[in-house]
C-alpha cells in the first residue's frame, strides 16, 4: 500500500488482507462493546457505539506513519462511549480498569489532560483481547482494541472537525489542510477545555477573551461558521423510521450530492454486514462517498455517536456563536 509503483494485483491482494484482518476484530470489539454497555447500564444519556476502522483511514495511516504495521494498529476496532460530564469519563474508565475482565490492559492515552496539538481531546484505553475459549477462536487472542471515553462537548468538537474535513476535502483530523480552519478548531477546543476546567491545547493561552478575539478574527476573514451552518444532507427518513433497533448499520454518505443511505443488519448478521461493508468500500473507491459500519443499540444512538454522517453539527455552531456574541 505504501509503494507508488504497486501493481493493481498487488493492491487488490493487500486490500483483501486488510479486509480479512479488520473483520477478525469484529468479535473482540463486540465483547468490549457489551462490557461498556453493562457499565453504562440503561442510562439514556450515555452513548455507546462500536465501529471498524474505514479502509481509507487504515491505508492513510500505513502511508503516513512509516514502520506502521496492521498488527500494531491499535484502533482497527474501536468503541466510543460519550458522557454528559467530565467526572464520569474518569469514573467509568476506572470502573472498567478495576473490573474483572480477562483482557490485558496495555496503555492509556489521556488527551484530555494532555490535548493533541490538533485540539483533539479524549481518553483512550488500549486493551489486548484474551479469549476464554480454546480451539479455532484462539486466533482472536492478542488483537488490540481501542476504547474512547469522551464528554459530550469533546464529542461535538470532534464530529464538527470531521464534518468540515469531509466537505472541504481536507484531512483536518490528520493535521492536514487549511491552517486557518485548523487554528479555528484548536481555539474552540481550548475554549471548551476552559469550560471543563482542563488544560488548554498547546500553542494557545488560558485567556478566554483572547481566545474568543482570535476566533472572531478568523471567522470574520474566512466565514467558517457560515460554512458549517450551510452543510446539510438529505437523509432516507423512511428507512430511519423502520430501522430504530439494535444491530449493525452501514452509512453511505455521498458528500457531493449530500445524500445519506442506510443499510441495516441484525445482530446475528455480523458476517454479512462485514462482507457488505468490504464490497461497498471497493465499489466506492475514488468516489465522493464515505462508508462506515457501526453497531449500536438503536438508530438514534447511531445518530448521536456519528452525527458527522448526518451533518448534525447545529449544536457546535450554536455554542460557538454564543461565544462570539
Break the chain into its structural domains and give their ranges.
8-324
pLDDT at position 161 is: 93
Low-confidence ranges of the chain (pLDDT < 50): 136
Print burial letters for 174-212: b (CB count within 10 Å at least 16), e (below 16): eeebeeebbbbbbbbbbbbbbebebebbeebeeeeeebb
Torsion of CA 84, 246, 94, 139, to 10 degrees: -150
Start-to-end Cα distance in the chain:
48
pLDDT at position 241 is: 57
Summarised one tens digit per residue, pLDDT across range 238-289 is 555 556 688 888 888 887 777 888 888 988 898 899 899 999 988 988 888 8
pLDDT at position 17 is: 92
Instruction: Report how far residue 113's alpha carbon sits from residue 201's, in angstroms, rounded to the nearest whole number.
Output: 10
Considering the four listed CATH numbers 3.90.226.10, 3.90.1150.10, 3.60.15.10, 3.30.460.10, the one that applies to the domain covering 8-324 is: 3.30.460.10
DSSP category for residue 67: T
- Please give the model's pTM, rounded to 2 decimal places: 0.84
pLDDT at position 136 is: 47
Instruction: Report how far residue 49's alpha carbon sits from residue 289's, in angstroms, rounded to the nearest whole number.
Output: 22
Amino acid at each position: 500500500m505504501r509503494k507508488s509503483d504497486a501493481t493493481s494485483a498487488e493492491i487488490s491482494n493487500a486490500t483483501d488482507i486488510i479486509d480479512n484482518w479488520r473483520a477478525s476484530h469484529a468479535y473482540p470489539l463486540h465483547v468490549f462493546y457489551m462490557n461498556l454497555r453493562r457499565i453504562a447500564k440503561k442510562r439514556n444519556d450515555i452513548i455507546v457505539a462500536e465501529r471498524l476502522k474505514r479502509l481509507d483511514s487504515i491505508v492513510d495511516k500505513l502511508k503516513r506513519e512509516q514502520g506502521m504495521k496492521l498488527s500494531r494498529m491499535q484502533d482497527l476496532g474501536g468503541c466510543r462511549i460519550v458522557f454528559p460530564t467530565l467526572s464520569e469519563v474518569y469514573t467509568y474508565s476506572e470502573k472498567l480498569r478495576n473490573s474483572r475482565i480477562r483482557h490485558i490492559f496495555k496503555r492509556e492515552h489521556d488527551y484530555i489532560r494532555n490535548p493533541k496539538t490538533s485540539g483533539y481531546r479524549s481518553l483512550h484505553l488500549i486493551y489486548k483481547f484474551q479469549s476464554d475459549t480454546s480451539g479455532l477462536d484462539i486466533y482472536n487472542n492478542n488483537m488490540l482494541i481501542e476504547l474512547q471515553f469522551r464528554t459530550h462537548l469533546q464529542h461535538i468538537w470532534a464530529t464538527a472537525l470531521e464534518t468540515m474535513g469531509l466537505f472541504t476535502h481536507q484531512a483536518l483530523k490528520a493535521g492536514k489542510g487549511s491552517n486557518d480552519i485548523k487554528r479555528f478548531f484548536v481555539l474552540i477546543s481550548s475554549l471548551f477545555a476552559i469550560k471543563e476546567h482542563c488544560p488548554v491545547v498547546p500553542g494557545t493561552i488560558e485567556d478566554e477573551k483572547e481566545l474568543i478575539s482570535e476566533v472572531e478574527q478568523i471567522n470574520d476573514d474566512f466565514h467558517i461558521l457560515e460554512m458549517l451552518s450551510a452543510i446539510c444532507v438529505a437523509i432516507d427518513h423512511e428507512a430511519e423510521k423502520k430501522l430504530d433497533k439494535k444491530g449493525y448499520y452501514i452509512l453511505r454518505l455521498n458528500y457531493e450530492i449530500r445524500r445519506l443511505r442506510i443499510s441495516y443488519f441484525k445482530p446475528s448478521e455480523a458476517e454479512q454486514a462485514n462482507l457488505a461493508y468490504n464490497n461497498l468500500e471497493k465499489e466506492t473507491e475514488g468516489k465522493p462517498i464515505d462508508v462506515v459500519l457501526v453497531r449500536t443499540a438503536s438508530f438514534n444512538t447511531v445518530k448521536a455517536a456519528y452525527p458527522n454522517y448526518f451533518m448534525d453539527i447545529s449544536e457546535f455552531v450554536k455554542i460557538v456563536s454564543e461565544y462570539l456574541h
